[in-house]
Structure formats: C-alpha cells, structure tokens
Amino acid sequence: MGSFFNTILYQPLFNALVFLYNTIAFQDLGVAIVMLTVVVRVILYPLFYKSFHNQTLMQKIQPHIQKIQHDHKGDREKQAQALMELYRHHNVNPFSSFFLILIQLPILITLYRLFLNGISPESFGNLYSFIIGPTELNHSFLGLIDLQNKSIVIVVLAAALQYFQGRMSLPKATKGDSSPTSKVSRSMVIIGPILTVGILATLPSAIGIYWFASSAFSIAQQAIINKQLNKGNGAIKGENSKSS
C-alpha cells in the first residue's frame, strides 16, 4: 500500500515540485511550494468548489431546517421527508461534503508530507529520469524565510487568512438566530485559526507557506461561491418571507 501511495501520489507531486523549483520558481523553494499548491488546487477545483458550495448553502438554509425540525418534532418520518424535499429543492446533499473530504484527504496528506520533507539529495531517488535534481538547494521563500525553520510571521498570516475565509463562508446573521449549528459554525471561525497557530508553530515554515497559499486560494473560491449564491438568493428570501 505504501509503494502504491508513493507511486500514484507522492512521486508525481515531488517531481512537479522539483520541476517548478528548477524552472519557473527561480530556485526558490517557497515560490515552488506556492505554485504547486495553486496547480493542485486548480486541478481539484471542482471537488473543493462542490464541497464549499454545499457547506455554504447548508448554512444558508439552516433556518428552514430548524423550522422543519420544530414543526415535525413529533413525527420523524414527516421530518425526514420534509428535509429531503428541502435538500432536493436547493440541490444540496448533506452528505456530499463528507465524501468529498474523503476523496481529497489522500492528496492533502501527500502535500503535507511532501512540503514537510522538502527537497533534499536523499529524496532524489524519487525523481523521474527526465527530471534533473537541483545542484543547489535554496530552502527559502523570497530570500526572507528559511523554510526549514519555524516562522511566526507565516503562522500568523496563514491563521489570519483562514479566519477571513471562515468569516466569508458564514451566512449573514439573522436576528434571534441562536441555534446550536449557528453557534458551532461561528465558534469554529475562531477555533480553527487558533488550532492552526498551535499546529503550525511547531512545524517548519514550508507547511505554513502551503497553508497560506491554500487559504488564499480558498478565499478567492469562497468569493466566487458567495457571488453565485447571492445571485440565486431570491428563492431563499422568498421562502423566508413565507415562513415568517
């Protein structure tokens, strides 16, 4: 299984990182990490988009979900039927985010392992015959940060971008909305970046660069999702006015 994982995921990504480092990244490992992160996120864009879109939409229809749960709290069958109709009406699958995370997880773990290990002469055995190992290794980002060491600047920037992306994913707060789901979502916007600081503070800044680049990409993606949802928000507003 380890050999399969290495051949299918780790080796191609490692060769892509070395190729970028040797060519368009100006032999700057930090720049190569950012570029590879963007390339992978572009390739996985449909999966991430579907997951983010589904998650954002689920948050937006929470008032309807709560109303159904309240109206049919004594009849689980009617409650389930009403919820399924709601999901079908808004074209949302409550389980899709879980499955999409499972699909993405191996790739994300591979990227984490790749950037944690970095490029070293010991790892050149993973290179394809047509990829040449660099003669000099520059473990820096823009000549300012040594990616082999910890960097509080990168940690703070990565956590700040994650917080901003989390805020963007939240629906506008409605008056009197104190549901458990809303509280958890808003709490995670704070807890997530705090956990990020705790994790990245103990790791080489190469991981922080990856986290930073991935969060920046997520912000752009979330902006696209929010724009599309706002265009189609009339249906949800209409239903809100009917249910009030």
Mean pLDDT of 209-228: 87
**What CA–CA distance (Å, rounded) separates 68 from 241?**
15
More confident residue, 29 or 231: 29
- For 179-211, how does the pLDDT look when each residue is reduced to its tens digit (9 = 90+)? 565 677 778 888 889 998 998 998 889 999 999
**What are the tokens at 67?**
């109303």
Whether residue 45 is predicted with pLDDT greater than 50 in this model: the reply is: yes
Q: Quick one: pLDDT at residue 235?
A: 45
Of 24-33, 91-100, 145-154, 170-179, the one with minimum mean pLDDT is: 170-179
Q: Is the distance from CB of 139 to CB of 30 less than 8 angstroms?
A: no
**What CA–CA distance (Å, rounded) separates 12 from 17?**
9
Mean pLDDT of 117-123: 84
pLDDT band at residue 243 using 50, 70 and 90 as cut-offs: very low
Q: Is the distance from CB of 100 to CB of 51 less than 8 angstroms?
A: yes
Whether residue 242 is predicted with pLDDT greater than 80 in this model: the reply is: no
HEC sequence for the chain: CHHHHHHHHHHHHHHHHHHHHHCCCCCCHHHHHHHHHHHHHHHCHHHHHHHHHHHHHHHHCHHHHHHHHHHCCCCHHHHHHHHHHHHHHCCCCCCHHHHHHHHHHHHHHHHHHHHHHCCCHHHHHHCCCCCCCCCCCCCEECCCEECCCCCHHHHHHHHHHHHHHHHHHCCCCCCCCCCHHHHHHHHHHHHHHHHHHHHHCCCCHHHHHHHHHHHHHHHHHHHHHHHHHHHCCHHHHHHHHHHC
- For 66-115, how does the pLDDT look when each residue is reduced to its tens digit (9 = 90+)? 888 888 888 888 888 888 888 888 888 777 767 767 777 888 788 888 88
**What CA–CA distance (Å, rounded) separates 68 from 131?**
58
Whether residue 61 is predicted with pLDDT greater than 90 in this model: the reply is: no
pLDDT band at residue 2 using 50, 70 and 90 as cut-offs: low
Positions of E strands within the chain: 140-141, 145-146
**What CA–CA distance (Å, rounded) separates 79 from 82?**
5
What's the whole-model pTM score? Answer: 0.76
Q: Quick one: pLDDT at residue 131?
A: 93
Q: Quick one: pLDDT at residue 97?
A: 66
Mean pLDDT of 9-34: 92
Q: Is the distance from CB of 184 to CB of 132 less than 8 angstroms?
A: no
